[in-house]
């Protein structure tokens, strides 16, 4: 399960209330206990000497002082508690904020009906508030003046990941874009923007740190014995890839994905429908450079895709063994990948790969590239856990924000070309320049990689066909 994120929330009402409690501390925290102690002793003497009316009067004063002291402690505790906890399950709010939510501090994501951004000036964070309406009739209001900008980003990204789009005010996306594009945004406490890269890396590290997922063992069988596991090929998070034998003859690749058991029912249903939809699309694909998906099935609540087995090494393995590729070879491979992307993007509906990386590109026995994996199964896990498809060095900014498009695949293409030319993974969410590492690469090829990895998708080439035309002019 993902590690909870604790955010400090310095709301103005809480700070004002805490200031009042602090100023009155001598009264309720010092004088009241002292007087209470004295009166308690006096009450005991009155009872001992049989002066009951006086004893009853003193006891009344003692009770009032005790309630005064206890009230001061409780109110101070309410105003002092200033944390918002963001988790996979929902939001835990400070006690003061929960009063309008029927005193319920925990808001489950599945119970959120609508999140609205109150305020019109998006450039002034101090004037904005998040209004969270809950299905039970309650609501909570979070003033953004009590949060640093990076924590606002974290909350917005979490809501985008874990809430349906219809539950989110359109202005929330505008605010997220504004924060993203601002390099110097801050707030009343002087905070600076959190790097989306480090935020995502933290999430990736924490989400699978304590996985209860147990992969299949060699020799284990599925489909009533039709498939036999030969060995595990890859393992990560809640998914695995196996080499299997089908009907005791053909070798196949089996991709397994598991929805974490603690995911709520609504997210699980959404993830399952997404997996089925994309699995059916992949089953229809036929292209000589794309590995064939033969079957999708479910066993023991685990989802499987059965694919062709392509004998060969992937680009990462080859580069690690032999070093970076010559630019002419890279241009040839890039043209092949442009054909693949052009094919995918021409489908109805458009198919996005979402996970184009050196690990998913295998050189077959003919020396041609084969695209061996799709983001469909990863998308299933991403929906269920709030993480994103794609390895951090190859994912575009818009895909990170949950809005991939055709240009996102072109970004991954540019990042993969950078790896092939330099032997290094590119910096995450950064425009890549090959010549900063490998001076022998031509300036035109370097500029093409830079244009493909532009942070604004509007500055990238318009299509895979356009990229292929540019590559044809290079060689």
Q: Where are the domains of the chain?
A: 1-194, 221-308, 324-354+390-474
DSSP summary character for residue 286:
-
Domains 221-308 and 324-354+390-474 share a fold: no
Say how far residue 185 (Cα) sits from the centre of its chain.
Answer: 22
Q: What CATH number was assigned to the domain covering residues 221-308?
A: 3.30.200.20
* pLDDT, averaged across the chain: 80
pLDDT(206) > 60: no
> How far, CA to CA in Å, does 161 sit from each of 44, 292, 383, 421, 422?
63, 30, 7, 34, 34
Per-residue pLDDT band for 288 (boundaries 50, 70, 90) equals very high
Q: Is 247 exposed, middle or buried (0-12, 13-18, 19+ CB in 10 A)?
A: exposed
Top-tier CATH class for 324-354+390-474? mainly alpha
What pLDDT, in 10s, does the model give residues 222-240?
A: 999 999 999 888 776 677 8
Question: Dihedrals φ, ψ of 142, to 5°?
Answer: -115, 115
Question: Dihedrals φ, ψ of 6, to 5°?
Answer: -100, 125
pLDDT at site 287 = 92
Q: Give the full edge-to-edge strand order of the sheet including 361-363.
A: 313-314, 361-363, 369-371
What pLDDT, in 10s, does the model give residues 114-154?
A: 999 998 888 788 889 899 999 888 898 888 888 887 788 77
pLDDT(161) > 70: no
Q: Check if the beta carbon of residue 434 is closer than 8 Å to that of residue 451.
A: no
Q: Of residues 27 and 359, which shows the higher confidence score?
A: 359
pLDDT at site 225 = 94
pLDDT(334) > 60: yes
Report the residue count for the chain. 475
* Most confident of the following: 95-99, 145-149, 224-228, 373-377: 224-228
CA distance 136 to 125: 29
Per-residue pLDDT band for 52 (boundaries 50, 70, 90) equals low
């Amino acid at each position: 399960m993902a590690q909870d994120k604790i955010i400090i929330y310095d709301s103005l009402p809480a700070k004002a209330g805490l200031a009042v409690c602090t100023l009155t501390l001598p009264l309720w925290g010092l004088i009241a206990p002292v007087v209470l102690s004295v009166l308690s002793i006096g009450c005991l003497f009155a009872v001992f000497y049989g002066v009951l009316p006086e004893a009853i009067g003193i006891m009344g004063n003692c009770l009032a002082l005790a309630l005064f002291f206890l009230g001061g402690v409780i109110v101070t505790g309410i105003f002092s508690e200033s944390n918002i906890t963001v988790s996979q399950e929902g939001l835990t709010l400070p006690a003061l904020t929960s009063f309008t939510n029927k005193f319920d501090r925990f808001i489950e994501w599945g119970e959120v009906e609508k999140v609205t951004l109150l305020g019109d000036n998006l450039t002034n964070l101090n004037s904005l508030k998040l209004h969270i309406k809950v299905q039970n009739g309650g609501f909570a209001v979070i003033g953004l003046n009590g949060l640093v900008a990076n924590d606002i980003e974290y909350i917005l990204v979490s809501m985008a990941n874990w809430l349906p789009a219809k539950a989110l005010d359109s202005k929330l996306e505008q605010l997220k874009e504004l924060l993203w594009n601002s390099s110097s945004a801050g707030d009343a406490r002087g905070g600076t923007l959190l790097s989306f890269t480090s935020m995502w890396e933290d999430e990736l590290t924490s989400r699978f740190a304590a996985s209860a997922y147990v992969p299949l063992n060699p020799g284990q069988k599925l489909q009533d014995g039709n498939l036999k596991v030969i060995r595990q090929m890859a393992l990560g998070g809640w998914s695995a890839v196996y080499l299997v034998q089908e009907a005791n003859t053909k070798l196949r690749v089996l991709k397994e994905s598991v929805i974490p058991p603690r995911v709520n029912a609504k997210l699980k249903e959404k993830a399952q429908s997404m997996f089925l939809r994309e699995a059916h699309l992949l089953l229809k694909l036929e292209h000589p450079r794309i590995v064939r998906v033969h079957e999708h099935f479910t066993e023991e609540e685990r989802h499987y895709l059965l694919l062709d087995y392509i004998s060969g090494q992937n680009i990462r393995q080859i580069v690690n063994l032999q070093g970076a590729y010559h630019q002419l070879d890279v241009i040839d491979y890039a043209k092949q990948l442009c054909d693949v992307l052009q094919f995918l993007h021409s489908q109805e509906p458009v198919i996005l790969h979402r996970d184009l990386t050196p690990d998913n590109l295998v050189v077959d026995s003919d020396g041609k590239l084969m695209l061996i994996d799709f983001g469909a199964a990863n998308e299933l896990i991403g929906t269920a856990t709030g993480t994103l498809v794609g390895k951090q060095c190859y994912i575009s900014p818009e895909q990170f924000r949950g809005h991939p498009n055709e240009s996102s695949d072109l970004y991954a293409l540019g990042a993969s070309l950078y790896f092939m030319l330099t032997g290094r993974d590119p910096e995450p969410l950064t425009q890549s320049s090959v010549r900063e590492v490998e001076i022998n690469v031509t300036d035109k090829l370097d500029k093409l990689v830079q244009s493909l990895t532009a942070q604004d998708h509007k500055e990238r080439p318009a299509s895979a066909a356009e990229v292929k035309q540019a590559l044809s002019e290079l060689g």
